[in-house]
Amino acid sequence: MGTRLAGKVAVITGGGGGIGSAAGRIFCAEGARVALVDQSEDAVMSAVHDIRQAIPGAEVHGFVADLGVEAEADRVIGEVVARLGAVDVLVNNVGIRRYEAVADAPWEAWDAIIRVNLLSFVSMTRAALPHLRKSGRGSIVNTSSTYAVYGRKGMGAYDATKAGVLALTRTLAFEEGAHGVRANAICPGFTRTPFHVKRLGAAAVEELVPPCVMKRWAEPAELAYPMLWLASDEASYVTGATFMIDGGLPA
């Protein structure tokens, strides 16, 4: 057990997924008390079970919420504070995908993805801010995407929301600095999450060589460790920053 997050309470959305659950495990290993939030009860409780098995004594709890609904943020933060007493770190990591060109994606698809990928970051942040400010050393870590910065075709709605996350992060850094709250973003590249393995198949993931300098997929923990640093007091002079965690993916 480490101590880099000792005494901190961390809330991680998308906590049942690959990067979110990896962050939960690493945060617990560094002394945090962790709340994992996910729409899937099976996924989040499986992540909680795995963390408790891997880290004896870990204080980690699962919460189920559909963060595409604004009121869910206030509810789940209220439940976290009632159980854990504080929020020092908020990791906005939830996300959904659509594989459609801008010309083909219906309005309803845009509405759904904006609600989850961008507006949930707003609602969770707003619900958590009184507690983050009270902490005096609060940290917000937002998960964006390399394709918030680089161009591609076929995922216009997803990429637009991820670009919005970067703008939101910078704004929060300016607005919340006076309250002792930092806000930063990471942009993952090709990451070997259960989502991609299920979507593409394990064999296809092994065969696909990402077009990055390192020529390999990242493991979820390789995204979670930068989150750990940003959540910790080691990054106390870092805010409003965007970190490309992509193995050297060229623009």
Which residue numbers are catalytic?
158
DSSP H helical segments within the chain, as ranges? 18-29, 41-54, 70-84, 107-114, 120-135, 156-176, 194-200, 202-207, 220-231
Q: In the numeric block, which tokens belong to residue 247? A: 């193995």
Distance CA 182, CA 135 (A): 11
For residues 225 and 56, is the Cβ–Cβ distance under 8 A?
Answer: no
Q: In the numeric block, which tokens belong to residue 232? A: 């910790």
For residues 207 and 172, is the Cβ–Cβ distance under 8 A?
Answer: no
Q: In the numeric block, which tokens belong to residue 58? A: 């870990």
Q: What is the largest CA-CA distance in the chain?
A: 51
Helix (H) or strand (E) holding 12: strand 9-13
Distance CA 71, CA 80 (A): 15
DSSP string, 123-155: HHHHHHHHHHHHHSSEEEEEE--GGGTS--SSB
For residues 63 and 76, is the Cβ–Cβ distance under 8 A?
Answer: yes
Q: In the numeric block, which tokens belong to residue 110? A: 């845009």
